[in-house]
Amino acid sequence: MSVDRAVARLERLLQEERIFLLRGDLQRLGPLVPRKEKLLRALMTGQDDRPGIARLRALSERNQTLLQAAQRGIGAARTRLDQIARGTPVGTYSRTGEKTQIARPVQTLQRRA
């Protein structure tokens, strides 16, 4: 495969990856890895295509930023779910914009004879 062709395919793949990241469709990222590896190997064996490589670097950095944001979002969601599970009150806003706390229902044990 020529370097130009590998660059073009990798550009399309990185754009596809970006779409999945923006949609939050993270499970579709895994199958892209073998395709990316194959294209990167093709680039390594070909001649230097500086403009193409520069475009790929820019696309990769853009996607890296999105991946990091997704990772932070997942971490924040996990933290919040842990807080809720521990009984930390949940804050929300009313229709008028006032902040209110939603307390977790108190669970009581009733003994019956």
Tens digit of each residue's pLDDT (9 = 90 or more) over 22-66: 999 999 999 999 999 998 888 887 666 678 888 899 999 999 999
- Write down the pLDDT at residue 33: 94
| Model confidence pTM above 0.85 | no
Positive/negative CA dihedral, 19, 21, 23, 26: positive
Supply angle C-alpha 33, 35, 40, rounded to 5. 95
Coil vs helix vs strand at 21 = helix
User: Of 77, 95, 96, 74, which is closest to residue 85 (Cα–Cα)?
Assistant: 77
Coil vs helix vs strand at 86 = coil
